[in-house]
Amino acid sequence: MNILFIADPLASFKIYKDTTFAMMREAQKRGHQIFACEPHQLVWQSGQSVNAQVQQVHLTGQQDVWFEVQGVHADRGLHSFDAVVMRKDPPFDSEYFYATHLLEQAEREGAKVFNKPSALRNHPEKLAILEFAQFISPTLVTRDAQAIRAFHAVHRDIILKPLDGMGGMGIFRVKDDALNLGAIIETLNREGAQTVMVQKFLPAIAQGDKRVLVIGGKVVPYCLARIPQGGEVRGNLAAGGKGVAQAISARDQEIAETIGPALAQRGLFLIGLDVIGDNLTEINVTSPTCFQEIFDQTGCDVAALFLDALESAVA
Task: List the catalytic residue out of 25, 76, 126, 210.
Answer: 126
Least Cα distance to 35 among 61, 60, 70 occurs for 70
Task: List the catalytic residue out of 211, 236, 252, 293.
Answer: 211
Asked if 151 contacts 140 with a C-beta cutoff of 8 angstroms, the reply is yes
**Separation between Cα atoms, residue 78 and residue 94, nearest integer Å:** 21
Task: List the catalytic residue out of 18, 252, 282, 293.
Answer: 282
Give every CB contact of residue 33 below 8 A, 6+ residues apart in sequence: 1, 2, 3, 56
**Catalytic status, residue 51:** no
Task: List the catalytic residue out of 161, 189, 210, 236.
Answer: 161
Task: List the catalytic residue out of 226, 252, 279, 293.
Answer: 226
**Catalytic status, residue 173:** no
**Separation between Cα atoms, residue 112 and residue 82, nearest integer Å:** 7
Asked if 289 contacts 211 with a C-beta cutoff of 8 angstroms, the reply is yes
**Catalytic status, residue 161:** yes
What percent of the chain is helix, strand and coil (3-state, nearest 5)? 35, 30, 35
Task: List the catalytic residue out of 51, 189, 236, 284.
Answer: 284
With 0-12 / 13-18 / 19 or more C-beta atoms within 10 angstroms meaning exposed / middle / buried, residue 134 is exposed
**Catalytic status, residue 157:** no
Give every CB contact of residue 97 below 8 A, 6+ residues apart in sequence: 121
Task: List the catalytic residue out of 209, 274, 279, 293.
Answer: 274
**Catalytic status, residue 274:** yes
Would strands 51-59 and 67-77 be described as parallel, antiparallel, or unpaired?
antiparallel
Q: How many CB atoms lie within 10 A of CB 227?
A: 17
Length of the chain in terms of residues written: 315
**Catalytic status, residue 234:** yes
Residues designated as active site: 126, 161, 211, 226, 234, 274, 282, 284
